């Protein structure tokens, strides 16, 4: 038991070696830094010069700032404005510190594009660009493509618009798969007469068939739908409509109708007649094309919306 | 012997008293001399009293609101450029600013009163009346949370009555969560409120209109468009023929929601009319800026209502008091009116683009311009045209700051305005500071916005 006394000199020596350094001793009444700095910032392009950016300091509990703009320049202002040498991507770093030398650092990337450049469509304002219409092979300047103008007008894709076999995007389809619905029986397919290609849609005189297809479209734009039809000599009506909903019964059609046209030209059952229906999509980013007949057998072909 | 009997009787009585002692349930704790929480809200009338108290609380909200939405923008300024008031025009608001604190308190007071109604709805026996009260309370709770989240950013979200111990509710909630709660309250209110309500009480259209603005703020343009067209097609509200009548023919058909006041009545009057209009000559607040005077087009019939030409100072001409006592004004405060809905409708159709050629959008703006005697917009409507029309049509109605933020133009417009007037503007000025007195009593739960 006596042996234990040699431990005291060792402890004492140890205390000497590991004693607190002076910085770590809290002063009288001192408390820890409860609100250390937190760095944050945002930036916006100057109205006058596309290379000049205004930086807004959003740091918390900070008194001193050190900016690195990623192009070799620095600043110690709180809210600097900086002109970059050229277009490109820069990493901006802000180091915010307080008077206790506690600090925080944050970085953000900034990409500067040439004036009038639209990154969304990788083109310059005023450039010729694709207007989305497959009919026009020469791409023309279209306002819808211009960045910073009106929102782009989607040209909707109508599947099996000509009722041809194997025209779905995956190369399958019987010409009417995209037109099936619960509001009426599936449409029939005819091979003669047709307006274009090898097939067209057929609605028998019983009036128990309905064609219905939902398409994606831009809200609040004017569109024009065109198609071709023909009717047999019996008196009857072919109704073609744009609906706001993908209806599940004929009762719902009236309430959902955005635009409609009633067609009665039965002068020649072998000659297709062009018809057009203009509509504004209103507050809908999807609409449905609807067609249905009463009294007379009808054929339809080649739907197009632009 | 007698003594013994007396003692045993006494003991027996004491024992009996022990058994028949009142339990706390049988005690009537309701104070006789004052109305307390515990005995109240037992009948429909008492709950309706709590509903009226919400509107009473709302009367506090607009009193100095002009400072944080108009003076803190390019629309108006002080005359003296001194003190707390000048902090707004100089875009240098301090956390100790009294208006910043009183606006916070006024809105949370309404939220507290609305929550009081919501927790006592069971006392209302009539189902349709219960729905109406719930709708009114949720409308007010949403409107005030909307005021707060736009002014201060992340704020505490109170969906029930809280006591001083419930510190979980003291801290700031992410703005997106606050917006989700506002959306849900207004959607509920819309379903429960009748379209036909007494003037000054929230109607279905009022809930729809505020919700439309919430949706525009959050970029749900399709939702906003549906709500605006529902109000426009609803037919309960329309533009007044004469712009002047909107403000001086109170309770008119253009007003969708207003906070009513009664002039020369110490309890029901307001004094913002004094501070921001005629009285402004003395107090020196909310004078229109030179920049604002320049944007009003030549021949605009709104000119004589926007500006008060009866004095030589740059007085605002809206909400001029007609009361005998200059500080007990009776002008109602308009929160939402039909012209605002028409312009929001166009904004919804534009859907964040820089322009639209939609007939409906152009037509909606043209209805507002036509009343002002201005030429119609032909072809497409641009974002700048729409923001300009909102600025003039809704000037001094406390929309400007939030319109600039919503359109994403606040940094460029206020940056230019500050530079031209020698003020310092940074993006952090778009949110007000959290009031310092609230931070002090929050036990560390509330944190300050960056830049303050």
Expressed as residue numbers, the domain containing A217 is 177-305
Q: Are residues A45 and A93 in the same domain?
A: yes
Asked if residue A280 and residue A194 are part of one domain, the reply reads yes
Quote the pLDDT of residue A153.
85
Closest Cα in chain A, distance from residue B231 (Å)? 15
Q: Which of A127, A55, A116 shows the shortest CA–CA distance to B415?
A: A55
| Pair of tokens at residue B209 | 């209109």
* pLDDT interval class at A142 (50, 70, 90): very low
For an interface test with A, the pick among B428, B439, B443 (most A C-beta atoms closer than 10 Å) comes out as: B428
- Are B225 and B348 in contact by the 8 Å Cβ rule? The answer is yes
The tokens of A66 are what?
A: 């050190």
The C-alpha R_g of chain A, in whole angstroms, comes to 36
> Residue A44, SS3?
strand
In a domain, A276, yes or no: yes
Nearest-Cα distance to chain B for A262, in Å, is 25
- The minimal CB distance from B358 to the residues A60, A149, A220 is found for A220
Chain B residues whose CB is inside 8 A of the A153 CB are none
CB-CB neighbours of B125 under 10 Å: 9
CATH number for the domain harbouring residue A204: 2.60.120.260
- pLDDT tens-place values along chain B, 452 residues long: 566 666 777 777 666 666 665 566 666 666 667 666 667 899 999 999 999 999 999 999 999 999 999 999 999 998 888 888 899 999 999 999 999 999 999 999 999 999 999 999 999 999 999 999 999 999 999 999 999 999 999 999 999 999 888 888 999 999 999 999 999 999 999 999 999 999 999 999 999 999 999 999 999 999 999 999 999 999 999 999 999 999 999 999 999 999 999 999 999 999 999 887 656 555 678 889 999 999 999 999 999 999 988 877 778 899 998 899 988 999 999 999 999 999 999 999 999 988 999 999 999 999 999 999 999 999 899 999 999 999 999 999 999 999 999 999 998 899 889 989 999 888 899 999 999 999 999 988 999 998 88
Dihedral in degrees, nearest 10, Cα atoms B403, B406, B412, B414: 40
Q: Which of B350, B360, B427, B444 to mutate to test the interface with A (most CBs of A within 10 A)?
A: B427
Confirm if B384 and A184 have CB atoms less than 8 A apart. no
Quote the DSSP letter at residue A114.
P
Q: How far apart are the first and last CA of chain B?
A: 86
* pLDDT band at residue A265 under the 50/70/90 scheme: very high
Q: Does A74 reside within a domain?
A: yes
Instruction: Report the alpha-carbon distance of residue B318 to residue B313 in Å, rounded.
Output: 14
For every residue of B370-425, DSSP letters joined together read HHTTPPPP-SPEEHHHHHHHHHHHTTTSS-HHHHHHHTT-HHHHHHHHHHHHT---
Average pLDDT, chain A: 86
> Phi, psi (5° rounding) for residue A63?
-120, -25
Examine the domain organization and report whether A191 and A301 are in the same domain.
Answer: yes
* Cβ(A63)–Cβ(A99) below 8 Å: yes
The closest CB to that of A56, out of B361, B416, B428, belongs to B428
Report the residue of chain B nearest A46, measured CA to CA. B412
Q: For A138-151, what is the mean pLDDT?
A: 50
The pLDDT assigned to B154 comes to 97
A24: in domain: no
**Degrees to nearest 5, angle at CA B446 with B440 and B448:** 90
Instruction: Please say whether the beta carbons of B235 and B242 come within 8 A.
Output: no
Interface residues from chain A to B (CB-CB < 8 Å): 40, 42, 44, 47, 54, 56-60, 78-79, 148-151, 219-222, 280, 282-283, 285
**Residue A269 included in any domain:** yes
Q: How far is B227 from chain A (nearest CA, A)?
A: 11
Same-domain pairing of A76 and A148: no
Domain assignment of residue A166, yes or no: no
Q: Whole-angstrom Cα distance, residue B389 to residue B400? A: 11
Based on the domain organization, do A205 and A250 belong to the same domain? yes
On whether both A124 and A197 belong to a single domain, the answer is: no
Question: Do residues A203 and A122 share a domain?
Answer: no
Does one domain contain both A250 and A219? yes
Q: Give the largest Cα separation in chain B, rounded.
A: 115
What mean pLDDT is predicted for residues A63-85? 93
Residue A7 lies in a domain: no
Instruction: Using the 3D structure, point to which of A137, A152, A167 is the last residue of a domain.
Output: A152
The closest alpha carbon to B335, from B55, B97, B129, belongs to B55
pLDDT at B314: 75
Is A2 among the domain residues?
no
Domain count for chain A: 3
Cross-strand pairs, A52: A83
Q: Which chain B residues are within 8 Å of A150, Cβ to Cβ?
A: 353-357, 380
**Domain shared by A301 and A218, yes or no:** yes
Radius of gyration of chain B (CA): 26
Confidence of residue A241 (pLDDT cuts 50, 70, 90): very high
Percent of chain A with pLDDT over 90: 65
Q: Which chain A residues are Cβ-neighbours of B414 within 8 angstroms?
A: none
Structural domains in chain B, CATH included, are 44-257+274-320+332-440 (1.25.40.390)
- Regarding predicted confidence, which is higher, A121 or B402? B402
Q: How far is A131 from chain B (nearest CA, A)?
A: 17
Residues A136, A108 within the same domain: no
Picking from A112, A144, A163, the residue at the C-terminal end of a domain is: A112
With H, G, I as helix, E, B as strand and everything else as coil, classify residue A170. coil
DSSP assignment string, A119-165: TTTTEETT-----S-TT--S----GGGSTTSBPP---PPPTTTT--T
The CATH number given to whatever domain includes residue A91 is: 2.60.40.10
Q: Is residue A247 part of a domain?
A: yes
Cβ atoms B47, B121 nearer than 8 A: yes
Same structural domain, A108 and A130 = no
Mean pLDDT of A287-306: 95
For residues B452 and B444, give the distance between their C-alpha atoms in angstroms, rounded to a whole number.
16
């Amino acid at each position: 038991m006596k042996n234990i006394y040699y431990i005291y000199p060792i402890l004492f020596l140890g205390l000497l070696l590991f004693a607190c350094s002076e910085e770590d001793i809290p002063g009288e009444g001192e408390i820890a830094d409860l609100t250390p700095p937190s760095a944050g910032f945002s930036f916006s392009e100057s109205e006058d010069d596309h290379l000049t950016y205004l930086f807004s300091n959003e740091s918390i509990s900070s008194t001193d700032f050190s900016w690195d703009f990623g192009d070799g320049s620095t600043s110690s202002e709180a809210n600097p404005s900086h002109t970059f040498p050229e277009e490109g991507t820069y990493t901006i770093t802000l180091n915010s510190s307080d008077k206790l030398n506690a600090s925080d650092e944050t970085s953000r990337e900034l990409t500067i594009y040439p004036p009038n450049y639209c990154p969304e469509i990788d083109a310059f304002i005023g450039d010729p660009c694709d207007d989305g219409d497959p009919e026009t092979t020469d791409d023309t300047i279209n306002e819808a493509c211009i960045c910073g103008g009106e929102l782009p007008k989607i040209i909707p894709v109508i599947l099996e618009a000509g009722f041809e076999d194997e025209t779905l995007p995956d190369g399958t389809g019987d010409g009417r798969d995209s037109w099936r619905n619960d509001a009426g029986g599936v449409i029939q397919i005819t091979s003669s007469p047709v307006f274009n290609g090898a097939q067209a849609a057929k609605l028998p005189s019983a009036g128990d068939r309905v064609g219905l297809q939902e398409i994606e479209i831009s809200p609040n734009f004017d569109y024009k739908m065109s198609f071709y039809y023909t009717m047999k000599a019996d008196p009857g009506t072919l109704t073609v409509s744009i609906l706001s909903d993908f209806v599940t019964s004929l009762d719902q059609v009236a309430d959902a109708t955005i635009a409609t046209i009633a067609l009665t030209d039965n002068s020649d059952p072998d000659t297709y007649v062009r018809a057009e229906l203009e509509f504004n999509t209103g507050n809908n980013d999807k609409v449905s094309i609807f067609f249905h007949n009463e009294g007379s057998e009808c054929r339809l072909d080649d739907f197009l919306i632009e | 012997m007698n003594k013994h009997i007396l003692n045993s009787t006494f003991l027996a009585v004491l024992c009996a008293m022990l058994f028949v002692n009142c339990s706390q349930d049988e005690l009537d704790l309701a104070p006789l001399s004052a109305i307390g929480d515990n005995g109240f809200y037992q009948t429909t009338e008492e709950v309706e009293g709590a509903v009226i108290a919400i509107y009473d609380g709302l009367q506090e909200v607009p009193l100095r609101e002009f400072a944080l939405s108009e003076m803190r923008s390019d629309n108006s300024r002080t005359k003296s450029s001194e003190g707390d008031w000048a902090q707004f025009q100089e875009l240098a608001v301090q956390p100790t600013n009294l208006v910043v604190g009183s606006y916070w308190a006024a809105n949370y007071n309404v939220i507290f009163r609305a929550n009081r109604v919501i927790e006592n709805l069971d006392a209302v026996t009539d189902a349709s009346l219960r729905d109406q009260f719930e709708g009114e309370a949720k409308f007010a709770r949403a409107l005030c949370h909307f005021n707060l989240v736009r002014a201060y950013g992340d704020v505490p979200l109170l969906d029930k009555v809280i006591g001083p111990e419930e510190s979980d509710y003291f801290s700031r909630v992410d703005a997106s969560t606050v917006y989700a709660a506002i959306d849900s309250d207004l959607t509920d209110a819309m379903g429960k409120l009748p379209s036909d309500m007494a003037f000054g009480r929230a109607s279905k259209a009022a809930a729809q209109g505020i919700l439309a603005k919430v949706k525009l703020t959050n970029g749900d343009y399709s939702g906003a468009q549906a709500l605006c067209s529902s109000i426009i097609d609803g037919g309960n509200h329309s533009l007044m023929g004469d712009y002047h009548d909107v403000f001086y023919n109170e309770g008119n058909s253009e007003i969708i929601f207003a906070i009513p006041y009664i002039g020369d009545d110490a309890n029901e009057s307001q004094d913002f009319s004094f501070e921001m209009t005629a009285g402004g000559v003395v107090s020196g607040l909310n004078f229109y800026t030179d920049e604002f005077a320049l944007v009003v087009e030549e021949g605009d019939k709104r000119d004589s209502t926007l500006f008060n030409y009866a004095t030589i100072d740059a007085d605002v001409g809206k909400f001029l008091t007609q009361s005998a006592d200059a500080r007990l004004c009776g002008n109602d405060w308009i929160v939402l009116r039909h012209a605002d809905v028409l312009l929001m409708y166009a904004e919804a159709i534009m859907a964040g683009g820089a322009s639209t050629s939609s007939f409906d959008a152009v037509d909606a703006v043209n209805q507002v311009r036509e009343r002002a005697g201005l030429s119609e917009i032909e072809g497409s409507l641009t974002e700048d045209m729409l923001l300009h029309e909102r600025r003039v049509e809704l000037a001094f109605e406390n929309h400007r700051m939030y319109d600039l933020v919503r359109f994403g133009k606040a940094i460029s417009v206020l940056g230019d305005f500050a530079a031209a007037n020698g003020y310092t503007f940074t993006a952090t000025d778009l949110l007000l500071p959290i009031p310092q007195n609230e931070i002090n009593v929050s036990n560390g739960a509330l944190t300050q916005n960056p830049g303050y």
